[in-house]
Amino acid sequence: MTQVNATGKPMLSARAILLIELALAMGGFAIGTGEFAIMGLMPNVAQGPGISEPQVGHVISSYALGVVVGAPLLAILGARMFRRHLLLLLMAFFALGNFASAMAPDYQALMLFRFLAGLPHGAYFGVAMLVAASMVAPDQRAKAVSRVLAGLTIAMLIGNPTATWLGQWLSWRWAFGLVGLIALLTVLLVAIFLPLDRSEPRNNAIRELRDFNRKPVWLALAISSIGFAGMFCVFSYLAPTMLQVTGVSEHWIPVGLAAFGLGGIVGNIFGGWLFDKLGFKAVAWLLLWSILVLLIFPLAAHSLWTILPAAFAVGTMVSLGPPLQTHLMDVAGEAQTLGAASNHSAFNVANALGPWLGGLAISAGLGWTATGYIGAATGAAGLLVFWWAWTASDASEATRGTATACD
C-alpha cells in the first residue's frame, strides 16, 4: 500500500517515480506509433479499401483533427476527475479507437475511427505531463516532462519502422492492432504503478476556461503552432527529397527517418535540461538553432553523407517540446489540464501547417529543398511570437511591481 504524507499526497521513492514515468512514456510510445505508422503504410492502406493515396492523406488529417478537437474538449470534461482515472479512461479509449481502425470495413468507417482515435491524444499527453511535473522538484520539471515525451520520440525511431514492417508483411490492419495492444499495456502499467493522489487540485470547467483565455497562454500555443511547423515542413518531404535530390535508392529512406528519430531523442533530453537551466529564454535559443538547421538543410540535401546528419539535426527541433509544455504549465494558472492538453492541439496545427506550406513551395516549382527555407521562415515567425510573449511578460511583471509598490 502506498504511504501518504500529512496532506494526503502519496510519498514516492525514486524507483516508484521512474516506474510511473515509464508507464506514462509507454502511452506516448503507443500514440506516436499510431500517429506516424500510417505515413509509412500509405500505399498499403490505399490498396485495402481500394482508395487513392490522397484519400489516405485525408485519413491522416482526420486523426489530426481528432487531436485538435479532443484535447481541449476532453480536458474540460475531465477537469473534475482524478488524473489517474482520467489517464486510464483516455488510454482505454485510444486502444478502442485503434482496434476499431484495424477492423474498419470501408473508407468512411476508417475516417471516422481515426478521428475517434485522435480524440484522447492531446488530453493524455497533457495530463501525463502534469503528473510527471508534480512528482519532482520545481527545477526538475522540464526534465521529467522530457522523460515522458521520450516515449513519443522513441516511437519515431523504433515504433514507426516496426509497425510499418508489420503492416507490409501481414496487413496494415495489424499495425493498428499492435498500437491497440501497446495502449492496453499502458492501461495496465498506469493502473499498477500510478497511485491515486486524492490531494491533487481539481478544477471545474468554468475556471479552466477563464484562466485559459489569457494572452500568455495563447502566445505560448502560437509559438508551438508556428515554431514547430518548420520541422514538419522538412520531415514530411524527407523521403522524396532523398530520392529526387540526394539521388539514393528507397532503401536509404528508413535510415534517414531513423536519423531524424535519433535526433528527436537527443533534442528531447536537451530541451528539458535547457529549460530547467534558462527557463522561458531556452525557447528563443532553440528557435535560433532551428532556423540555422533549416537553412543548412537545402545545402546538405545533395549528398547522402550530409543529408543524414542534417536529418538528425532537424530531428533535434523536438527540443522545443519540453520547454513549451513546461512554460504552459507556468502561465496556465488554474487551467492546468486544458493548457497542457492544448499544447498538443498546437503541435498538430504545426503538423498541418508545415507540410501545407512546403507543398505550396514545391508546387510553385521551387524544388524539394525549398522546404528548408520555408521552415526557417516559420522558425523566424515563431521567434517573433516569442519576443511578443517575452515583452508582454516583462510588461506584466512591471505592472505587478508598480501595484505592489503602491500598496
Q: Residues 242, 248: contact at Cβ < 8 Å? A: yes
Q: Which CATH superfamily hosts domain 203-401?
A: MFS general substrate transporter like domains (1.20.1250.20)
For residue range 117-143, list pLDDT tens digits in order: 999 988 898 888 888 888 888 778 777
Q: Where are the domains of the chain?
A: 12-202, 203-401
The rounded mean pLDDT for the chain is 82
Task: Copy the grid coordinates of residue 114.
Answer: 481515426
Query: Cα–Cα distance between 55 and 104 in angstroms, integer?
Result: 15
What was the pLDDT predicted at 390? 87
Q: What is the 3-state secondary structure (H, E, C) of the chain?
A: CCCECCCCCECCCHHHHHHHHHHHHHHHHHHHHHHHHHHHCHHHHHHCCCCCHHHHHHHHHHHHHHHHHHHHHHHHHCCCCCHHHHHHHHHHHHHHHHHHHHCCCCHHHHHHHHHHHHHHHHHHHHHHHHHHHHCCCHHHHHHHHHHHHHHHHHHHHHHHHHHHHHHHHCCHHHHHHHHHHHHHHHHHHHHHHCCCCCCCCCCCHHHHHHHHCCHHHHHHHHHHHHHCHHHHHHHHCHHHHHHHHHCCCHHHHHHHHHHHHHHHHHHHHHHHHHHHHHCCHHHHHHHHHHHHHHHHHHHHCCCHHHHHHHHHHHHHHHHHHHHHHHHHHHHCCCCHHHHHHHHHHHHHHHHHHHHHHHHHHHHCCCCCCHHHHHHHHHHHHHHHHHHHHHHHHHHHHHHHHHHHHHC
Q: Which fold has domain 12-202?
A: Growth Hormone; Chain: A; (1.20.1250)
Query: Cα–Cα distance between 68 and 63 in angstroms, integer?
Result: 9
Query: Cα–Cα distance between 40 and 162 in angstroms, integer?
Result: 10
139: how many CB neighbours lie within 10 A of its CB? 11
Q: How confident is the model at residue 333 (pLDDT cuts 50, 70, 90)?
A: confident
Residues 6+ apart with CB under 8 A from 392: 215, 216, 219
Query: Cα–Cα distance between 352 and 153 in angstroms, integer?
Result: 19
What was the pLDDT predicted at 364? 85
Q: How confident is the model at residue 404 (pLDDT cuts 50, 70, 90)?
A: very low
Q: How confident is the model at residue 395 (pLDDT cuts 50, 70, 90)?
A: very low
The winner for highest mean pLDDT among 45-49, 223-227, 295-299, 347-351 is 295-299
Alpha-carbon Rg for the chain, nearest whole angstrom, is 21
pTM: 0.74
Q: Residues 382, 223: contact at Cβ < 8 Å? A: yes
Query: Cα–Cα distance between 102 and 221 in angstroms, integer?
Result: 33
Q: Is pLDDT above 70 for 7?
A: no
Query: Cα–Cα distance between 173 and 133 in angstroms, integer?
Result: 36
For residue range 264-323, list pLDDT tens digits in order: 889 988 988 898 888 889 999 999 999 999 999 999 999 999 999 999 999 999 888 888
Burial class (CB in 10 A: 0-12, 13-18, 19+), 397: exposed
Query: Cα–Cα distance between 115 and 59 in angstroms, integer?
Result: 8
Residues 6+ apart with CB under 8 A from 335: 203, 207, 208, 209, 210, 211, 212, 217
Residues 6+ apart with CB under 8 A from 188: none
- Does the fold of domain 203-401 match that of domain 12-202? yes
Comparing C-alpha atoms, which of 15, 32, 385 is closest to residue 217? 385
Q: Residues 197, 10: contact at Cβ < 8 Å? A: yes
Low-confidence winner among 1-5, 151-155, 324-328 (lowest mean pLDDT) = 1-5
Task: Copy the grid coordinates of residue 116.
Answer: 475517434
Low-confidence winner among 47-51, 114-118, 285-289 (lowest mean pLDDT) = 47-51
Query: Cα–Cα distance between 329 and 93 in angstroms, integer?
Result: 25
